[in-house]
Amino acid sequence: MKHALCIASLSGLAMTAGCANTQPNTFTFTADLPPDFAYQAAVYYVPAPGETCTVETRYNKAPVFNREWRKAYKADSEIVIRRTRMGCPLVINRIELEINSAYGKDWGDISQDSANVVIRDELEAQYKGTFSEAGESTFYGQCQWLFRTAGSKRRIVKILDCKKTNSQGKRGHGRPFSAYTLDQLPGKTVKMKIKLAPEEEPYFTGKWVKFKNGYKRCTGKSFEDQHAFCYGNFKDFSTFQMPDGRICSIYPGCIE
């Protein structure tokens, strides 16, 4: 939205502020994520087009939004488009995103995957994101939990795997991604919309056997066998430990 400052007249007293039209120097980044998910965003800047100056990284550190996402999380981040450091005019170049979620209570029971937004002075039309009349552009992705066992107790560890999709949910190659030009962004909203796959899958193939009511973990050579591939033995299965401490025989239902 453009803001106008013009000559005003009150009770015969004229106050001249001059007339100027300016665009906002910010846009909003936001996300529509599954429950208990959060994003972290690091914003990187480079010299503006045509500038020959450079700025050392220590004077051009990337602002990070939702750094402490487990303690305090905000879906909306107001991001500056242009800034000056050490006398050098800078423009936003990219947003590196982490999609985070916790699957257990322990501090280490978290996983994340990446997404990216890139901003350039110019882009070919096929690569440039589009905005609605309301000033919003949305890009899409789907995340899936992959599970495995680790350690002497065969404790369940989960890995988050995120892929880009189209608006209908069809998965593509690569991580969630979008691109814009600098002149598209002032006053606009960029949204990342992520859905969660309805089913979890094993992280490794050849270690679990799928049954109607879930997955069973092959024993391998012994319970101490950290690799424990099935190797054609689909009769001998081991227990494993859930993140909450339960000892289970089938995933995710725990007890058959």
1 in a structural domain: no
* Same domain as 83, residue 151: yes
**Mean pLDDT in residue range 237-250:** 96
pLDDT score at 19 = 43
pLDDT score at 5 = 36
* Same domain as 240, residue 186: no
* Same domain as 132, residue 91: yes
pLDDT score at 256 = 80
* Same domain as 114, residue 28: yes
Q: Does the structure show a pLDDT above 60 at 104?
A: yes
* Average pLDDT in the chain: 91
Q: How confident is the model at residue 146 (pLDDT cuts 50, 70, 90)?
A: very high
pLDDT score at 255 = 86
pLDDT score at 126 = 87
**Mean pLDDT in residue range 216-229:** 93
* Same domain as 76, residue 52: yes
* Same domain as 176, residue 56: yes
* Same domain as 102, residue 45: yes
* Same domain as 222, residue 185: no
Q: Does the structure show a pLDDT above 70 at 171?
A: yes
10 in a structural domain: no
Cross-strand bridge partners of residue 42: 64, 96
Indicate the number of domains in the chain: 2
pLDDT score at 21 = 56
What DSSP string runs through the chain?
A: --EE---EEETTEEE-----EE--SEEEEEEE--TTEEEEEEEEEEEPTT------GGGSPPPEESTTTTT---S-EEEESEEEETTEEEEEEEEEEEEEEE-SSSTT-EEEEEEEEEEES---GGG-----TTSEEEEEEEEEEEEEEETTTTEEEEEEEEEEE-TT--B-SSS-EEEEEGGG-TT-EEEEEEEE-SS-EESSTTSEEEETTEEEEE-TTSTT-SS---TT--S-EE-EE-TTS-EESBBTTB--
pTM score of the predicted model? 0.86
User: Is 7 in contact with 14 (CB distance < 8 Å)?
Assistant: yes
pLDDT-above-70 percentage for the chain:
92
pLDDT digits (tens, 9 = 90+) for 175-189: 999 999 999 999 999
Give the domain extent around 216. Answer: 204-248
* Same domain as 231, residue 114: no
